[in-house]
Amino acid sequence: MSRRLRGHVHQTLRRATAAAHHELDHHPLMQRLTSSDLSRAQYAESLAAMHRPHAQLERQVHESRHHPGSGLELSARLERLEADLFELGRPVPPLSQNRLEDSDERAAWWGRVYVLEGSRQGSAVIAKCIHSSLGDTVPCRFFGEATAPHDYAVLLATLEHELEEDEALEQAVASARAAFTAYKAGLDFLESGKHDVQLR
C-alpha cells in the first residue's frame, strides 16, 4: 500500500462530510445567527434548539470509554450554553439522564470527536456576528470559547495516526456523517414543533 500524503485523513473526513456540514450550517436556526437583523429572542431560540443535539454529541464523546486514553484534553461547553440560556431568560430544555451506550469502535468515536471539536472552529466568527447584532453585553459564552489553533492542530495530527488504516477511516467517516445527521435532526425537531404550534 502506498504511503498516504500528509493530511490525508483530515482531507478525507472534510470531503466526506462537506455536504452534511453545509446543510447544518445553512439550517434556518443556525444561519440566522450570522444575520445582521438577529433578535435576542431568535438567538435564544437557536441556542435552545442546539441544546439537546449538542448535549447528546458531547456526552457521546466525553463519557465514552475511549476518552480517558485518547491523550486529548477536551473541554465541555454544555454548561456555557446553559448559562447563556439562563441569562437570556430561556428555560434550559430537559435532557434524558439515561446512560449512553458505548459499544462503538474506537474509530467511530474519533469520527464524533472530529465533528464536536470541529464545531468550535467557526465559533469566533459566529460570536462576532452575534455581538455585532445584539451588542457586546449579550451572553455569548458558548460561541465565545473557540479552540486555539494549536489544539486543533494536535487533534488533526492525532487523527492521522489513529485512522491510518482504511477500515478505521471508513468507520470514522460513517460516524462523523451520522453525528451531523443527528445534530440536524435535533434542530429539525424544534423547527417542526414550532410550525405545528403555528398551524393549530
Residue 24: give its domain's CATH number: 1.20.910.10
Range of the domain at 130: 8-199
Query: Do the domain assignments include residue 20?
Result: yes
Query: Do the domain assignments include residue 33?
Result: yes
Q: Calculate the alpha carbon distances from 29 to 122, 167, 184 in Å.
A: 16, 35, 10
Query: Do the domain assignments include residue 81?
Result: yes
pTM for the full predicted model: 0.89
Q: What is the pLDDT of residues 12-70, one digit of tens each?
A: 999 999 999 999 999 999 999 999 999 999 999 999 999 999 999 999 999 999 999 99
Q: What is the pLDDT of residues 137-171, one digit of tens each?
A: 999 999 997 666 678 889 999 999 999 999 999 99
Closest CA relative to residue 10, chosen from 126, 117, 102 = 117
Separation of alpha carbons 105 and 63, rounded Å: 14
Query: Do the domain assignments include residue 31?
Result: yes
Query: Do the domain assignments include residue 170?
Result: yes
Neighbours of 31 (CB within 10 A): 12
Query: Do the domain assignments include residue 177?
Result: yes
Output the nine-digit C-alpha cell for 100: 449512553
Query: Do the domain assignments include residue 2?
Result: no
Between 7 and 50, whose confidence is greater?
50
Give the end-to-end CA distance of the chain in Å, rounded to a whole number. 61
Handedness of CA 36, 42, 48, 52 (dihedral sign): negative
What is the Rg, in whole angstroms, of the alpha carbon atoms belonging to the chain?
A: 18
Q: How many domains does the chain have?
A: 1
